[in-house]
A and B are shown apart, each in its own frame.
Chain A
Amino acid sequence: MNVLFDEPGPRARRRIQVATVVSVLGGALLFALAVRQFAVNGELDWKKWAPYTQWPNWRYLLTALGQTLLAAALSAGIGGLAGLLLAVARASRNVVVSGLARAYMETVRVIPAVLLIYVVLFVLPSLGLDLPLLWKLVVPLAVSSSAQFGEIFRAGILSLDRGQGEAAAALGLSTGQSMRLVILPQALRRVVPSLVSQTGGVLKDTSLGFFVSYAELLFSGKVLIGYYQNQLLIQTYLVIGVIYFAANYALSRFARWLERRGERTVKSR
């Protein structure tokens, strides 16, 4: 139950019942309209769905999912590591180091990933650096996610009690030692759920492979749509949408599970 209503009285109960019936009918009507729109335009015809009962098409899309996961893992891994370094640099007492880290994070935050992709596609080759296809996707995503991961780690470090750093200093640990032995182990544990959900964001961003022609899910979908002469456009996008949803939903469930588990360990202490 939430704060907005408590145990309803007889009149409120009746109203809720009416609203329930009306909303179910409304939903059914909308659904029927959508199905009708599909049917009228011939998008429900069996021949438009039959290709997705065949293994070769699924094998093609699952291979593409593998490429998506590979790109996501590399981007999140590199971006996460860079983010950790950025957060530590921002916590540094050296003004130049923390200033540079801050400037980097603030700048990357306000540049669209698409623009970073164009930089890798057009600027780097003009400087004589032509990356392999996978890295044309991974490098921009790692750069843009490093700033987001950095913010997460920073929030974790800032969420710790001041006393932790002070106690470490009192024990005679150097700044580096107290960061490595006292602050980071605690901060990292706190931010694990956010890291996982940010990884979900990176997974979605791999769809930018569409711009670099890297054979991840979305681009492979485009290829498949072209192969069937645009006849299966709706069906292909729906199938790909379901695959993205399944992968991302699993990841966000995992994040929520970690979050709940974390709460429990904190309470039990």
Chain B
Amino acid sequence: MDVLLDNSGAFAEGVVTTVELTALSFVGALAIALVVVTFRVSPVKPLRLFGTAYVEIFQNVPLLLWILFFVFGLPKLGIQFELFTTAVLAVSMYSAAYYAEALRTGINTVATGQAEAARALGLGFGQSLRWVILPQALRSVVQPLGNLTVMLLMNTALAAGAGLVELSTAANRINLVEAEPILIFSGAAVVYALLALVITAITRLLERKLVIHR
């Protein structure tokens, strides 16, 4: 245990970075996914095509390649942010494709009568989506979104490939100095597991509050 205590500062910094990266990427991914899924179900064909292309392109290319491209490629095109911001951007945009697919499944589970009723009330496409369909769709996909968020947490470790010092990199660096791999990597694994547990607990809570049992 001494090794972890001696390096608790560096370790804690890694944990904080991972938590921030996960939280910000979650918010970003959900925001992008809402836009993408709106495009995918809209009556405007070019927007539908864009939504489909977005999902296919991001889902079929590995996240690590996106991260490397964003971090090392974009500066060559004159677009440069801080490393952490770039990592958030890459993880958000990648995860958004998965969140959007989950949301679309949710939209498909909303009964057709709901949309018909909304139209009968005179609501347009945007209004019925915003006020009638999405609130119900979101409720029905709490569990899948939670699972995807655990996956997002796991995926943040890939930012190590671009040199961001998050939890896995911090553990790796401490190990390079201390050479106590078993202890250090189990410590990191336990923290990841705890964070995943927190996400799962929040998901359960939300599910109990939100899900409509039919």
- Chain A residues at the B interface, C-beta cutoff of 8 Å: 2-6, 8, 12, 16, 19-20, 23-24, 27, 37-38, 40-41, 43, 107, 109-115, 118-119, 122-123, 126, 200, 204-205, 207-208, 210-211, 218, 233-234, 237, 240-241, 244-245, 248-249, 252
Contact = CB atoms under 8 A, between A and B. Distances in A.
A153 to B, nearest CB: 17
Contacts of B65: 207, 218, 237, 240-241, 244
Nearest to A247: B60
B128 interface: yes
B177 interface: no
Contacts of A8: 43
B19 to A, nearest CB: 14
A123 B179 CA distance: 9
Nearest to A236: B73
A110 B110 CA distance: 31
Contacts of A38: 77
Interface in B53-68: 56-57, 59-65, 68
Given A4-B43, A115-B185, A123-B181, A110 B197 contact: yes
B161 to A, nearest CB: 6
A205 B155 CA distance: 10
A112 B168 contact: yes
Contacts of A126: 179, 181-182
Interface string B120-131: 000011001100
**Chain A contact surface mostly:** helix
A208 B150 CA distance: 19
Given A2-B107, A208-B158, A245-B61, 14 more contacts: A3-B115, A20-B44, A23-B44, A41-B76, A41-B77, A41-B78, A111-B192, A114-B160, A115-B157, A115-B185, A115-B192, A119-B181, A119-B185, A245-B57
A234 B150 CA distance: 31
Contacts of A218: 62, 64-65, 68
Contacts of B179: 126
A45 B80 CA distance: 21
A269 B116 CA distance: 34
Given A109-B150, A111-B193, A118-B171, A4 B115 contact: yes
B60 A114 contact: no
A107 B46 contact: no
B102 to A, nearest CB: 14
Interface in B138-152: 150
Interface of B: 41-47, 50, 56-57, 59-65, 68-69, 72-73, 76-79, 107-108, 110, 112, 114-116, 119, 124-125, 128-129, 133, 150, 153-158, 160-161, 168, 171-172, 175, 179, 181-182, 185, 188-189, 192-193, 196-197
Nearest to B176: A122
Contacts of B108: 2-3
28 contacts: A3-B112, A3-B114, A4-B41, A4-B42, A5-B119, A12-B43, A19-B42, A20-B45, A23-B44, A23-B46, A27-B50, A37-B79, A41-B76, A107-B193, A110-B192, A110-B193, A110-B197, A118-B172, A119-B185, A122-B185, A123-B181, A126-B179, A207-B62, A207-B64, A234-B69, A237-B68, A244-B61, A248-B61
Given A20-B46, A123-B181, A114 B61 contact: no
Contacts of A19: 42, 44, 47
B203 to A, nearest CB: 13
Interface centre among B110, B116, B156, B193 (most CB of A within 10 A): B193
Nearest to B126: A4
A53 to B, nearest CB: 21
Contact of B60 (A43, A111, A234, A252): A252
A212 to B, nearest CB: 12
Given A4-B128, A37-B79, A114-B168, A211 B43 contact: no
Contacts of B157: 112-115
Contacts of B50: 23, 27
Nearest to A34: B77
Contacts of A249: 56, 60
Nearest to A16: B43
Contacts of B129: 4
A210 B125 contact: no
B136 to A, nearest CB: 11
B72 A233 contact: yes
